[in-house]
Structure 1
């Protein structure tokens, strides 16, 4: 199987006049050479990227951390929308290499003509991040999609809490049929002082997704 490249068109605004074109390379899935699901573009990632385009104020002039970035669509959208810095992470080395490729393919979106965003990719397994792991800078916003499958919700929350700034926020998208870890994720975030707004989003094929917008209560933010 060959690598596959496509141009993903994201649209938002009145009559969907605001649009961004992002080039994404996908690698073959489970063919004996490329085995990670992160090398494929999944609908939840598109929903997350679309939400950022709809609400660009979430990312503008901020440091965005993408956990489980996959092909990198949402993080690249954040960079194109005016983020100050974007760090795309995934646990699989091959997936991270593919993210690097996609960063280079889209650099014109935030280069000299499109802004000045620092965009990086690195390996990070959010299921195994300890309290000793630290970024040079804590994230203003953590974004993530399709990562609360199985019983990893608590792990995802612990990682996000460890890497978020004291006033940071998080956007999570979960497919309707892959939400086993959602209760544990929300419980951990609430215990850390976060409140959330949840909404349902439907893609163009009629598939339902749960979107969580999490923010820390002002009274619980460390001084």
Structure 2
């Protein structure tokens, strides 16, 4: 992070490795990359925005259903994760989810018996993997097709657990919930003002209010809180940082921890930097570079053409102040 002393404009080098110093100040280690972004405009010096990503799996044809094979721990077998290409952003597995799954695999011993929320879950690969490690998980998102995919994958997960001898004794429970970060923002604002939160109209819930209980996943309750909150590739569009922060603040138990894996792209630099700065108001933030796991462990998933070719993934750890 660089700050211009004359106009207080920050510039973010997306290829920097991030650390957090002893005072909680988020800093970037120097890098040779010249890809920098200003608050109001993109200043891509040596970044080829149209360059192909390191990996890509999405066919450029019509919308089509597919499946991602996720090998679960504890000999549960291979989970068939439902996908639909070229539909909603949450209807395919992204590479960032594989990095988070690999982190869960490496830290499986700390997950058993914990309650975990996967926010912006998309296909829910991370939530299902955490459940296979013994955590009780809520997998939450909002898109209609995303929710249908999650229900299909949940049926497959429950079938794997049922077939595994003693599977129910070590595999955690999974529930699917409808969750809008904007609603959590409204809840926190209403609490601050002593008011009753209003309902949020959102593209994903058109028809939901009129058809509550008619096959739609139940919404998150305002009182639902968790030991761990996880998420991957949560920052894609602009102006998402405050609502995401509200979700993390509302859903995380005091003294607990949140883990997010984020892909750095040429079109999400500003929202990522704003999120980091805003998060420091409520959390101690640590950011480190992350790498894709061995393809023999997790098959490669989808990536966008906007992902940086050089070191694009970051693991964020957020602990409440």
> How high is the TM-score relative to the length of structure 2?
0.57
For the 8 Å contact 1:10–1:50, the answer to whether it is kept is: no
Quote the Cα distance in structure 2 between the aligned partners of 1:187 and 1:19. 40
Partner of 1:184: 274
Q: Tell which structure's C-alpha radius of gyration is larger.
A: 2
Once the two structures are overlaid, the 10-residue window that deviates more, 122-131 or 66-75, is: 122-131
The 1-side partners of 2:242 and 2:143 are apart by: 20
| 1:44-81 CA distance string (max 9 Å, x none) | 11111111111124432111111111111000000001
- CA root-mean-square deviation: 2.7
How far the C-alpha of 1:135 sits from its partner, in A, is 4.0
C-alpha spacing 1:127/1:78, structure 2 compared with 1 (3 Å): same
CA spacing shift, 1:20–1:59, aligned 2, 3 Å: farther
Structure with the higher strand share, 1 or 2:
1
Q: Any gaps of 5 or more consecutive residues in structure 1?
A: 12-17, 30-34
Structure 1 length as normaliser, TM-score? 0.80
Q: Secondary structure at the match of 2:134?
A: coil
CA distance 1:209–1:19, shift in 2 (3 Å): farther
Residues 179/49 of structure 1: CA separation in 2 closer, same or farther (3 Å cut): farther
Counterpart Cα distance in 2 of 1:116 and 1:21: 14
Per the alignment, residue 40 of structure 1 pairs with: 92
Q: How many residues align?
A: 205
Q: Secondary structure at the match of 2:176?
A: strand
Aligned ranges 1:113-128 → 2 under 5 Å:
113-114=166-167, 115-128=170-183
**1:106 pairs with 2:157:** yes
Query: SS at the partner of 1:68?
Result: coil
Q: Identify the residue that residue 21 of structure 1 maps to in structure 2.
A: 78
* Distance in 2 between residues matched to 1:74 and 1:86, nearest whole Å: 10
Structure with bigger RCO (C-alpha 8 Å, 6+ apart)? 2
SS at 1:23 equivalent: strand
CA distance in 1, matches of 2:101, 2:252: 20
CA distance, structure 2, for counterparts of residue 55 and residue 144 of structure 1:
16
